[in-house]
Structure 1
Amino acid sequence: MDWLDRAAMAGSAACMVHCLVLPILLAAVPAVSAFIVIPESFHRWALLFAAPIAAIALVGGHARHAASWPLCLGTAGLGLMTIGAFALPEGGVEITVTVTGGILVALAHTANLRLRHSCGSLGDRSRARSA
């Protein structure tokens, strides 16, 4: 399940690069924006791809380490990303809401990954003591 958290973190990073760097690049180089057109539906499709992966990783982590806060943080982040993709018009507010959601999801996956590893380490220690 670690690979799901890592894949989800990579997806969050790619989303942030898309949301922050690409518009700046396109604004700085007007000639490039004539050739690269990213449809508004991209955000919706990216979210529909990322949300199930995030949910599986976060729920799986919760089942292993029983800490609820990464799941809640990830759910809040996915909620913000959903609002940004489906409820807000394209612009500054949409970017802010979407990036904030992406950051929350990335933090949730980082915490999930660390809690999984500490859970595994504690289990290894317990087995070592009983052996």
Structure 2
Amino acid sequence: MSPKVLERTRGNSSGTGRWDRWGQALSLLCMVHCLVLPLVLGALPAVMSHALEETPIHLGMVVLAAVLGGVSFAPGFRRHRDGRVLALGALGLGLLILAQFLEHESTAETTVTALGATVLVIAHGLNRRRCQDGCAEAVANAR
């Protein structure tokens, strides 16, 4: 099989890669939100800071992370059977949930949220790579 066909097959092997890319992008967005927003809020009036730091925004991000994790990690695990990916995804999501119980706008909340988002970025990347590697192995074994 030609390298082009193999690469196309790897990229289109399943929909999990697309969900992992979304998960990585949104996890990165979450990380940027946690790290940059405190700097931006220092320059904004107090009224704006309150509007941008509402709990529903954070809860919505956690729910979105859980949904994207479900639609990418579960099918990915069925494909590659690497429990480490599920463990990393669960750890990242657990950290995001834990951050919801910490003092709002505290250093601890920001740190735990950024750590959770980082772990999710790594988990989604590993999931995507494992799915692609599994597809490449299946194609190679079929030859």
TM-score (norm 1): 0.89
1:43 aligned residue (58, 71, 77): 58
Deviations 1:45-71 (A, max 9, x none): 111122111122111111100111011
Deviations 1:11-70 (A, max 9, x none): 10110111111211221x234x54462112210111112211112211111110011101
1:120 is aligned to: 135
SS in 2 for 1:82: helix
1:13 aligned residue (28, 31, 34): 28
Aligned pairs, how many?
A: 125
Q: Distance in 1 between matches of 2:126 and 2:64?
A: 21
Q: Which ranges of structure 2 fall in alignment gaps of 5 or more residues?
A: 1-15
Q: Distance in 1 between matches of 2:33 and 2:84?
A: 27
1:62 is aligned to: 77
2:89 is aligned to: 74
1:96 is aligned to: 111
Sort the Cα spacing of 1:93 and 1:35 in 2 relative to 1 into closer, same or farther, 3 A.
closer
1:22 aligns with 2:37: yes
Alpha-carbon distance, 1:75 to partner: 0.2
TM-score (norm 2): 0.82
SS in 2 for 1:41: helix
Q: Which ranges of structure 1 fall in alignment gaps of 5 or more residues?
A: none
